[in-house]
């Protein structure tokens, strides 16, 4: 009798230990298993996350929709994109512009000279270790993550400046199930124009020593055509489009006297978009780059008009290749973005 009672007590003790262990493990399991099924985006606030990709973890800066809505606006950086922060977050007031709106701002970090595309190979000029797969990240990995936080896979807008402007149209054209709006500010939208492929090659070498052959192959490769907005323009039909460019003349966001003497430090516009203060050299550089962007954008406008594809255009009487103008264009395009996404 005493032996049975001792055995029962021993079995009961073992069962209680097992139940306790399971109870302790349950919250951890729930945290892991439950993370992918969040049904609503956080209501407002800022967050920095790392999202897995074929390139490794990618940092993403996020400002959540003010009232937990499911719409998102992707903001793409320029040619000299940095690895610590997307320049939209510190060169503009983008967060303040949309802080009260029901749209999540998504700012991917990194991608210098990438054109946010899937490359053939790592750049062999600068010892790049990984192959850029930005299109895959922005249209597969990132939306899959955002969906777990309540952001729709299909109620999205994408816009960018310079390199990012060209890429925004490319992403929207080939991923119509994801994007309803695409915007380009000072984008290079006619890569087939004489000299453009050579300009891109030089700019990428200047911005990190990247080899454009590793991106889309030699200039005669079909990948250049695939990523040329002028060529794939018919695929933009039905999208809400906002296309803008300055004319290269210095304006309100260029430092007074910059053409007469050095007033700043780091490159404000660089090759196809970057950040910093204005110097005489940089202002001259920004004027030239914006003049090229204007010619590209005007020819792209003619292309869309010939196809009967409507778009909103803004050609400012002054403006160089610099962040102040791109911040202003984001504000001007905001009503169209919010209308398209129903995100007021």
Domain locations in the chain as residue ranges: 1-37, 42-341
User: What are the C-alpha distances in Å from 308 to residues 255, 272, 305, 311?
Assistant: 40, 29, 5, 10
pLDDT confidence bin for 264, thresholds 50/70/90 = very low
pLDDT grade for 255, boundaries at 50, 70 and 90: confident
CB proximity list for 297: less than 8 A, separation 6 or greater: 184, 186, 187, 189, 243, 244, 245, 315
pLDDT per residue over 12-62, tens digit each?
A: 444 433 433 333 333 332 222 233 445 578 999 999 999 999 999 999 999
* Residue 321 annotated to the active site: yes
Tokens of 106: 């998504």
Q: What pLDDT does residue 283 have?
A: 87
Range 69-75 average pLDDT: 98
267 within 8 A of 276, measured Cβ to Cβ: yes
Rounded to an integer, the average pLDDT of 247-265 is: 64
- The answer, yes or no, to whether residue 250 has pLDDT greater than 80, is yes
Among candidate residues 114, 123, 162, 275, the one labeled active-site is 162
Task: Determine which one of 89, 275, 321, 327 is catalytic.
Answer: 321
- Domain 42-341: which CATH number of 3.40.50.1820, 3.40.47.10, 3.40.640.10, 2.60.120.10: 3.40.50.1820
Please confirm, yes or no, whether 290 is among the known catalytic residues.
Answer: yes
Q: Which of 135, 290, 328, 329 is catalytic?
A: 290
Q: How do beta strands 179-185 and 156-161 pair?
A: parallel
Euclidean distance between CA atoms 77 and 89, whole angstroms: 10
Per-residue pLDDT tens for 269-295? 333 444 443 455 688 999 999 999 999
- Model confidence over 119-173: pLDDT tens digits? 999 999 999 999 999 999 999 999 999 999 999 999 999 999 999 999 999 999 9
pTM of the predicted structure, to 2 decimals: 0.85
């Amino acid at each position: 009798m005493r032996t049975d009672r001792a055995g029962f007590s021993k079995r009961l003790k073992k069962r209680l230990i097992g139940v306790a262990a399971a109870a302790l493990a349950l919250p951890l399991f729930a945290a892991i298993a439950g993370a992918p099924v969040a049904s609503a985006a956080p209501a407002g606030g800022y967050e920095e996350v790392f999202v897995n990709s074929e390139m490794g973890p990618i940092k993403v800066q996020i400002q959540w929709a003010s009232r937990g809505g499911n719409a998102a606006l992707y903001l793409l950086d320029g040619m000299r994109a940095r690895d610590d922060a997307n320049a939209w977050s510190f060169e503009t007031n983008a967060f303040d512009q949309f802080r009260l709106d029901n749209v999540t701002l998504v700012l991917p970090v990194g991608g210098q000279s990438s054109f946010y595309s899937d490359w053939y190979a790592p750049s062999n000029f600068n010892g790049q270790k990984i192959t850029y797969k930005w299109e895959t990240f922005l249209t597969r990995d990132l939306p899959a993550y955002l969906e777990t936080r309540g952001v729709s896979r299909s109620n999205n807008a994408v816009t960018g400046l310079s390199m990012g402007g060209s890429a925004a149209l490319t992403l929207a054209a080939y991923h119509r199930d994801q994007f309803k709006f695409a915007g380009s500010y000072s984008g290079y939208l006619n890569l087939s124009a004489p000299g453009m492929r050579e300009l891109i090659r030089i700019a990428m070498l200047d911005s990190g020593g990247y080899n454009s052959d590793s991106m889309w192959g030699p200039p005669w490769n079909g990948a250049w055509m695939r990523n040329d907005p002028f060529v794939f323009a018919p695929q933009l039909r039905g999208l809400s489009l906002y296309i803008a460019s300055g004319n290269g003349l210095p304006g309100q966001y260029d430092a007074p006297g910059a053409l007469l003497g050095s007033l700043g430090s780091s490159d404000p516009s660089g090759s196809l978009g970057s950040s910093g203060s204005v110097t005489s050299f940089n202002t001259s550089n920004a004027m030239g780059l914006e003049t090229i962007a204007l010619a590209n954008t005007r020819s792209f406008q003619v292309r869309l008009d010939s196809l009967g594809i409507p778009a909103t255009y803004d050609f400012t009487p002054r403006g160089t290749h610099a962040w102040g103008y791109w911040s202003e264009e984001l504000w001007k395009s905001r009503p169209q973005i919010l209308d398209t996404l129903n995100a007021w």
